[in-house]
Chains A and B, each alone.
Chain A
Amino acid sequence: MATESTTASPLAETGERVCWSCSAPQAAQFCTSCGKVQPSQSVDYFTFFGLPRKLNIDVTRLQREFYELSRKLHPDLYGQTSKQEQEWSLEQSSLLNDAYRTLKDPIKRTEYLLRLEGVELEEQSKSATETARVSGEIKKQVVPPDLLEEVFELNMQLEELRMSRKMGEDDLALIRELQAHKTEFEKKFEVLTQELKQYWDQWDRVADVDQEEKRHQIRDKMVDVLNRRNYIRNLVRDVNEALGS
């Protein structure tokens, strides 16, 4: 996987801001000149790490940077500083942890990027319902009907299994059928994950280019794949729970 590791300077992102202590241009966390901790800015997590808004990232490098910043922001280093600096270092620390946790996981990273790009998954569904109400059109479900049918059927079987368990029976034929379904769903999950990865590459190719329409297309495709993928993930989890108990 191609990993774009452009060392985007935080300076470029933070624009006019200067260090509170020495007035030199400041970096996201520390002044590049005097090294003093800076108040946390409301920057997105990519900017925090000086990364471009892309989906293939060098996680090893991210981790290295995380450890380094964690060390530099350690409360022990601020025992002798002003109260204000102590607070800032704590703020920066918590921002650092959130940013790292979100970006190191590729799915969380994708969901986060989609939010930055204006996609609120739940809001999306609600506003679609409102539009449908006004227009009288039927709302397009984010999950395709055939998948919904399968999910419904599988849930029926799960319920059946739980019922028979309650009666003290183990319906072996049903268990085998559920296991077969589970395997199928796991395959689908894998296919969707691969599909998502292709969109990461596509996204990264147009991320810097002035092609808003194309970006929106890829963004919407990612939303679609994620929705289906999440659905299947929850379903497999339920089947595992039912089969495991």
Chain B
Amino acid sequence: MSYSDKVLDHYSHPRNVGSMDKGSTDVGTGLVGAPECGDVMKLQIKVNPETSVIEDAKFKTFGCGSAIASSSLATEWVKGKTVDEALQIKNTDIVKELSLPPVKIHCSVLAEDAIRAAIHDWKKKRETAKPETVEARS
């Protein structure tokens, strides 16, 4: 099977690889996996608490080229979006953008799962952290 140029590009030059402080209230972490292939994907977002805009995103994925490309693309796409906008991203958008073949669709599913999980984690943190969080940020 051959990878599309876009997959190869993300694979050889992945964007936004890295990690952020998991404990920070501004950071949401999504850790997801696909048992069929053993892939594991971690995607983190840093959200502005006032505007809900995702200011930064990082990922680390262990898996095939398509999984790496899907998560790399996901971090590019979520940056600059509000969390609600980011929730609109569908796995099929990723499939289309990267021209993923049917056997690699689960990689795009994983990336969507990771985005949703990261946002969910951030929302949960924000709810548990009391309203003064806004003030606490100097």
Contacts and interface: CB of A to CB of B under 8 A. Distances in A.
B53 interface: no
A9 interface: no
A56 interface: no
Interface residues of B, number: 23
Interface size class of chain A, counting residues whose CB lies under 8 Å from the partner chain: 20 to 34
Nearest to A150: B40
Contacts of A129: 91, 109, 112-113, 116
A141 B32 contact: yes
Interface stretch (A13-21, A63-71, A227-235): A227-235
A122 interface: yes
B35 A227 contact: yes
B13 interface: no
Interface string A118-130: 0001100110010
Given A122-B106, A129-B109, A138-B117, A143 B35 contact: yes
B62 interface: yes
B35 A228 contact: yes
A143 B106 contact: no
A161 B37 CA distance: 22
B113 A149 contact: no
6 contacts: A125-B36, A143-B33, A227-B35, A228-B35, A230-B38, A231-B38
Interface of A: 121-122, 125-126, 129, 132-133, 136, 138-139, 141-143, 145, 148-149, 151-152, 155, 159, 226-228, 230-231, 234-235, 238
